[in-house]
Copies of this chain bind each other. A is one copy, B any other.
Amino acid sequence: MRENTREAILSAARRTAQARGYGGLNFRDLAADVGIKSASIHYHFASKADLGVAVVKRYREDATIALEAISDEMPDPLSCLQRYTDIFRAVLQNDNRMCMNNFMSAEYSDLPDVVKTEIEAFIDVNVAWIARQLSAASIVPIENSEKRARAVFSAIAGAQLLARGRSDISFYDSAISELRDAGILPSGGD
């Protein structure tokens, strides 16, 4: 027995979802990755929607843990934000992948409602964490931090999306450095 087939499906699906989105997920390739037949996936996930929910939910949980780990380890919120943009960069470098949210926000109208809900929760986690760093760094008063965090998150997401659309990571670097120059992202940190 290979540990846990369900987990193997989940992790293969997650990897695909960050490379080609929800629409890019297909049961036959996924099954081949895991070493079972397409029909067998339905034993673990009744429908593609169920698989999608599980993938995004796990993605959100992992992100939540990872972000908490960063802000726990690093006392300096400016360093935390620096690390944050580095993560988006690393994903691009990993075979031109993206944050799953960039795919799913684009695929919004084709997404099952349950998947939409999970994606919104993922966005909330990110925006809340960014808002905390921004107010901790006294960049923005706390009552404006949520609003600013939304702009920061979407600007980073947009930079990642466009860099992918050009297949050019320097587009990302350049956009992020401009955001810092403009002061929408702090330029401190290590």
Which of A's residues lie within 8 Å of B, judged by CB?
19-21, 23-24, 96, 98, 101-110, 116, 119-120, 123, 147-148, 150-151, 153-159, 161-167, 171, 174-175, 178-179, 182-184
Contact = CB atoms under 8 A, between A and B. Distances in A.
Contact of A106 (B153, B156, B164, B175): B164
B174 A184 contact: no
Where chain A touches its partner, the secondary structure class is: helix
B167 A108 contact: yes
Given A150-B174, A171-B150, A21 B158 contact: no
Stoichiometry, copies per complex? 2
Contact of A156 (B105, B156, B158, B164): B158
A109 B123 contact: no
Nearest to A120: B166
Contact of A183 (B21, B157, B165, B182): B182
Closest 9 CB pairs of A and B: A158-B158, A105-B165, A151-B178, A154-B158, A182-B184, A155-B155, A154-B162, A106-B106, A151-B175
Given A108-B165, A120-B166, A150-B162, A184 B179 contact: yes
A61 B168 CA distance: 24
A19 to B, nearest CB: 6
Most chain B beta-carbon contacts within 10 A, residue among A104, A116, A119, A147:
A147
A127 B116 CA distance: 31
A128 to B, nearest CB: 14
